[in-house]
Amino acid sequence: MEILDVSLHGVEKNYKPIPTIPLLVPLISFEEKAPDFTVTGDGKVVPKIGLIMLLSDPLKKNILQVGGLLEIAKDFNYINSSGINPSRARDFFALLENRSFPMTLQLSYMHSNYVNKDTIRYEDPRSYEDSIAINHYAVPVHSLMGGLGYSIFKKNDSLAISLGYDWADFNLYEDQLSWTYHKRVSAAISLSHYSGFSEDNSNTVSGEGNGISLIYKYNNADLYRPGTFAESFTVSASGAIKPIYRNYQIHELGFSLFGSLGNPIHSGARFAAGANVSGILSWKSKDKSDTLDAFYYHPLFLEGYPYLISTEDYARSGTKTALAQLHYIFPIYSDFRKHWWIFTSRDFYIDVYAQIGTAWNSSWFDKKTFKNKDLWDRSVGFELRLANTLFYSIPLDISINIARGLDRVAKNADGSGGSRLHRIDIPLLPTAIEPTRISFSIGMGFNNRWMQ
């Protein structure tokens, strides 16, 4: 008897959506770390290098993304006796997405380690003398989230539900003292509708896409209580130090709208615009004497401005924020596909933009706030966008963003006071147009700010 191996073409087989197709994307970033998180003085540019790995099955039913950035240091002291060296800035994320079912399942983890230094006072009751010293510290932040997504109309819409837990520590690693200063359980539901996006997101460089989104979020959070040692900590009989927390329950709402339109007289160019409003609907604390800490205010981020003006304060924040922006994106060349060795250049676009936004703590429709022009912040800038690939398939997108904030920072509640932003001195560039912030990144895709 002879047994023959017969291959039957076209026969159906059970498909196993196991991620086996890898994609590696190198990352490089440069960010400014100002002294003690302030906007005064000379900042320090912190370079980071990293990698993103995407793993998917041929039909993209299951997608695994893992990536990280690590501060480039003069030495290679990234591991010490306590494990990963806390004095090194780093970022890490992992995302698993399953699309094998009618509902999209998602599970993610994110971690960042922020490092800084501060002046502290050591009290010595034996000698009745205090000493001043510089102490380095780290703030490791962690976030876990699981979510479900479902398309109600089966086209361009999404109803998403998520549940998350995040926490942050304050690590005085030189004194071997660390505690969790914030922890939060959150639940959110959002309804969105999008159109005009390509399936592989290859059109992010040109700014195509329209969308509208509404999100509600509930938070049950514990925040460390500041004050003296006795007001902030308890010490058990065994000597364990535990922080004292304030408990908050916070309800939040966010709305965003964005879109783009091609310019009929400029081939490949687009006008894009976006607006978003977010804020706190209501809140309450377990201890009725506690007021809402500014830690939970919504930050307002405009290009050209610093994120923080102190270790505890955003440059601009409030219980409500509003932001609007207009962009004009046009190509220098498109679908170029010229290559040199392993490098291929595909698209080169320039994004010229203007932004305006405000933050306030009164009612949602406070006409007095809206009419006060000193409470509005403005910025202008442009971004160079180079869409490239390595080995014809690995994305290597490069962006250089140059922005200038036009208003003061650290203003009073009524918009008065504050200080002017420090301008970056660039040779041969007139002072009147010197930028206040420059950022550079290499990665996959581009930051379409108006879509936030």
Find the mean pLDDT for residues 69-77.
Answer: 79
Q: Which of 88-102, 114-128, 298-312 has the lowest mean pLDDT?
A: 114-128
* Token code pair at residue 422: 């420090």
Q: Distance between CA atoms of 12 and 16, rounded to whole angstroms?
A: 12
- Cβ pair 125, 104 in contact under 8 A: no
* Token code pair at residue 240: 């364990």
Q: Which of 82-86, 270-274, 433-437 has the lowest mean pLDDT?
A: 82-86
Place of tokens 């932004």: 355
Beta bridge partners of 239: none
pLDDT for the residue 307: 78
* Token code pair at residue 91: 């970022």
What does the CA dihedral 399, 405, 411, 414 come to, rounded to 10 degrees?
-110
The per-residue pLDDT for range 353-395, each reduced to its tens digit, is 999 999 999 889 888 888 888 899 999 999 999 988 877 777 7
pTM of the full structure:
0.83
pLDDT for the residue 109: 96
The per-residue pLDDT for range 295-329, each reduced to its tens digit, is 899 999 999 888 777 666 778 899 999 999 999 99
Which span out of 52-56, 138-142, 283-287, 322-326 was modeled with the highest average pLDDT?
322-326
- Cβ pair 136, 174 in contact under 8 A: yes
Residue 90, amino acid: R
pLDDT band at 10, cuts 50/70/90?
A: very low
* Distant-in-sequence contacts of 232-240, Cβ < 8 A, 24+ apart: 233/179
pLDDT band at 130, cuts 50/70/90?
A: low
- Cβ pair 279, 299 in contact under 8 A: no
Task: Name which of 407, 394, 397 is nearest 436 in CA terms.
Answer: 407
- Cβ pair 215, 254 in contact under 8 A: yes
pLDDT for the residue 35: 46
Q: Distance between CA atoms of 65 and 70, rounded to whole angstroms?
A: 17
